[in-house]
Amino acid sequence: MRRRSVLAAAGAGAAALLVGGTRAEAATLSSTASAKAAAVSGGDVPWASASLRSLADRVGLRIGSALYPQDIETASWAAIAGSQFSVVTPANGMKWQIVEPAQGTYDWSQADELVNFAHKNNQLIRGHCLIWHNQLPTWLTTGVANGSITKAQLMDLAHQHITTEVSRYKGKIWQWDVCNEFFTDSNPSQLDPNNWWIVNAGPEIIPNAFKWAHAADPNALLFFNDYNIGGEDGTNAKFNAVYSYVQQLLSAGVPIHGVGIQGHLDTQYGWSPTPLRQDMEKFASLGLKVAITEADVRTFVNNPTAQVPTDNLALFAHPYEYEEMLKAALAVPECISFTVWGWTDANSWVPGSFSGEGYADIYDVNQQPKAAYYALQSELGLASNGAPYRVKSYTPRS
């Protein structure tokens, strides 16, 4: 892997003002950049050829990626997926639509392929995701729509689905995303009354899902996972709603162990890292683990194939936003993993979902590491060489 001056990585911080940071933040970043420059001599860094996972291991953080079958089945891709990451998430392979395409007929091939890959590469697994309104099997959505599956039967089917899947992989999954994306993006935010599960099964589906998953694998860490809950919306409205809700779950004795902050950013909106860190600290103050579960940073590009950013400022904002998300993760000891949602632009959900956007990942369309990769490597290199990032910045709990 080519070597890179730490100065280049630190320069990404200069984008703070350009992407919505305050002057004070820019000043802090600029002094951070100087400190980094002083930390090495000669322009090269001692961790220049170290993998992300080897550096992250040294500071007690798991670094991960979502994986698609292509990541495992293409030898050159698998070499990167296996060597850079210490935790992997099936991008689609454990979703209900994939594992039970016809009622009672299971297809575990994608999920098993990922579990075997992870085992071979000494990686942990984030199971994703048990209850979500999206990627449900057609037999289920059709049955509910035409009334052949009643509310009570839907709850039974969800119970059966969770028990079957979690039991199958019992002891092999580190963290399960039990419930995914249940809150509105409005201000104030709330449990979405139009969510497919809330409409058809009722809000009890959420505590029930956690209880069923816990019964099937008592050692798995059970997460609630959502987007816009790390201050991305500028108001923290969704964070506030999720925070109150998980507090209620905990008070009711529901076995929830963590909150997953997805971390899908877009350079066009501007972003400040401070709320992300504060929100993670607040979740941690409830006694929960936290994780960044789906980090990526999209921007406008020339076309979906080459994915060259059309705005030069994005070239600064992209690595800066990755780097700052990782720094927040490093600063909160209860944050146990930092996962990118796919590692290469060659296989990204972004161009298909956001017209005109792409360049969201840390490797380019030719599987070459981008500035964002080196920004993450640099932060992990500094942290693993003693930079005081992984410290408590709030009053310890009793």
Binding site for ligand G3I (CB under 6 A): 91-92, 134-135, 180, 262, 294, 349
Residue closer to ligand G3I (CB basis): 205 or 330: 205
Cβ of residue 347: shortest distance to ligand G3I, in angstroms?
A: 8
Cα–Cα distance, 270 to 22 (Å, whole number): 11
Cβ of residue 153: shortest distance to ligand G3I, in angstroms?
A: 25
Long-range contacts of 108-111 (CB under 8 A, 24+ apart): 108/168, 110/69, 111/169
Q: Which amino acid is at 342?
A: G
Cβ of residue 361: shortest distance to ligand G3I, in angstroms?
A: 11
Six-digit token string for 274: 């401070």
Residue closer to ligand G3I (CB basis): 180 or 344: 180
What SS3 class is residue 306? coil
Could you tell me how many helices (H) and strands (E) the chain has, helices first?
16, 10
What SS3 class is residue 345? helix
Six-digit token string for 160: 């059966």
Six-digit token string for 78: 């698998």
Residue partners of 293: CB distance under 8 A and separation at least 6 = 89, 126, 128, 177, 223, 225, 260, 261, 262, 263, 337, 339, 341
Residue closer to ligand G3I (CB basis): 200 or 347: 347
How many other C-beta atoms lie within 10 A of the C-beta of residue 194? Answer: 8
Q: Which residue is nearest to ligand G3I (CB)?
A: 349
Q: Is there a contact between 226 and 262 (Cβ–Cβ < 8 Å)? A: yes
Cβ of residue 262: shortest distance to ligand G3I, in angstroms?
A: 6
- Active-site amino acid positions: 181, 294
Cβ of residue 281: shortest distance to ligand G3I, in angstroms?
A: 23
Cβ of residue 112: shortest distance to ligand G3I, in angstroms?
A: 17
Q: Is there a contact between 293 and 126 (Cβ–Cβ < 8 Å)? A: yes
Q: Quickly tell me which residue has 């019964």 as its tokens.
A: 215
Element (H, E) at 89: strand 87-90
**Checking DSSP bridges between strand 264-266 and strand 87-90, what pairing results, if any?**
unpaired
Residue closer to ligand G3I (CB basis): 101 or 218: 101
Q: What's the gap between Cα 370 and its chain centre?
A: 19
Residue closer to ligand G3I (CB basis): 134 or 142: 134
Element (H, E) at 97: helix 96-99
Residue closer to ligand G3I (CB basis): 83 or 134: 134
Residue closer to ligand G3I (CB basis): 92 or 339: 92
Cβ of residue 93: shortest distance to ligand G3I, in angstroms?
A: 9
